[in-house]
Amino acid sequence: MKQTQLKANITATGKYLPKEVLTNHDMAKLVETSDEWIQTRTGIRERRKVQKGEATVDMSTNAVRDLMERYDLDAKEIDAIIVATVTPDMILPCSAALVQKNINAVNAWGYDLSAACSGFLFGLESGAALIVSGRCEKVIVIGADTMSSILNYEDRNTCILFGDGAGAVLLEPSEEFGIIDSELRIDGTGGEFLRVDGGGSLHPASHETVSNKLHYVRQDGKTVYKFAVRGMADISYEVAERNNLKGDDISLFIPHQANKRIIDAAAKRLGLKESQVMINIDTYANTTSATIPICIAEVSEKNMLNIGDNVIISTFGAGFSWGAMYLKWGMQANA
Ligand code: UT7
């Protein structure tokens, strides 16, 4: 995206995490694994899981309600709602419509966006386009996933990695702060390495798809890891470099939380110290579309940034899909 006068600025955030905590020790009761293995290989200590009957729309609604309480936003002011998710409550209607109903955002339109772990970043880009074009003044972008609904709790390669959660941001126009630049990519040649085959139009749900466990996440972890390490580091560096940002110029790096080792590699490439990197994978694991908005909400809750600070956000996920974004933080403390 070229630099323009008007920017899309994040002015409010909210988040929701289900109450139930599954520790690595809990996972070790389900599959052959250990706290030591999971922590060393991924940086994860625990993750959250929805209660029966709770799903993506509930979590999204709660995240937006949290945002509205913090920012004193009237739902009638919202122009559009974008929900990034790979685990919508149902195939149709879209989650955005159900969130719109729950919060009574009577003037909003919206849609769901599916790009796995990159969904929220791509959603921010879409929301920003609505703001910068002047079509909308207040856009809610949500990242939410109920990963427990598509995990095979007998597969130690995948079930230990993911958790449930939701985060939301409000985008508004600003001439000074907000999204300055981004670089986003997809490459379908990586599609086979991280997938859910069942339940789509190619393999509609049937007794056979269920008995073959096609509705669960399958991942070739090693291959995804290899591409993720290079992909996230390269694209973050590219966006930082073309904006003349070197190590200390970056106040905070907010990466997708898939594996602490992938994050460390990207941070090293950017020349960052540990204190410049947002990490919460230890407590929530990989919540797919929700990792980045949950991070942003925590950054704001903890007042970790000042107005005008340089932030790089970056992601890598199924598709392959990946990207990085540079923004100037423009959110008032405690908003
Ligand atoms: O956000 C979406 C994008 N996804 C990612 O970015 C994930 C990318 N991949 C990864 O993060 C890592 O590849 C994993 C964390 C999934 C795996 O770590 P790894 O260091 O690549 O381990 P590995 O797959 O090479 O497995 C090493 C060993 C294997 O045993 P053998 O074949 O060496 O005997 C696995 O069977 O660890 C075994 N293993 C486990 N052991 C204990 C695999 N999963 C587990 C487990 N507990 N949960």
Report the chain (335 residues): mean pLDDT per 10 consecutive residues. 77 98 98 98 98 97 96 95 98 97 98 98 98 97 98 98 98 97 98 97 97 97 96 96 95 98 95 97 98 98 96 98 98 74
Cα angle, residue 89 at apex, residues 87 and 93 outer, rounded to 5°: 115
Domains within the chain, CATH numbers bracketed? 7-176 (3.40.47.10), 180-328 (3.40.47.10)
d(CA 147, ligand 1 centre) in Å: 18
Atom in ligand 1 nearest the alpha carbon of residue 291: 1
- Of 258, 320, 256, 245, the closest CA to residue 42 belongs to 258
pTM across the whole model? 0.96
Residue 84: half-sphere exposure toward Cβ, Cα within 13 Å: 30
The secondary structure of residue 216, as a DSSP letter, is S
Mutate to test the pocket of ligand 1, among 22, 151, 225, 294 (most ligand atoms within 8 A of CB): 225
Alpha-carbon distance of 166 to 287, in angstroms, equals 8
- Do 271 and 253 touch, CB atoms closer than 8 A? no
**Which residues does residue 26 pair with via DSSP β-bridges, in sequence order?**
none
Is the C-beta atom of 287 inside 6 A of ligand 1?
no
Catalytic residue among 9, 256, 259, 310: 256
24 belongs to the catalytic site: no
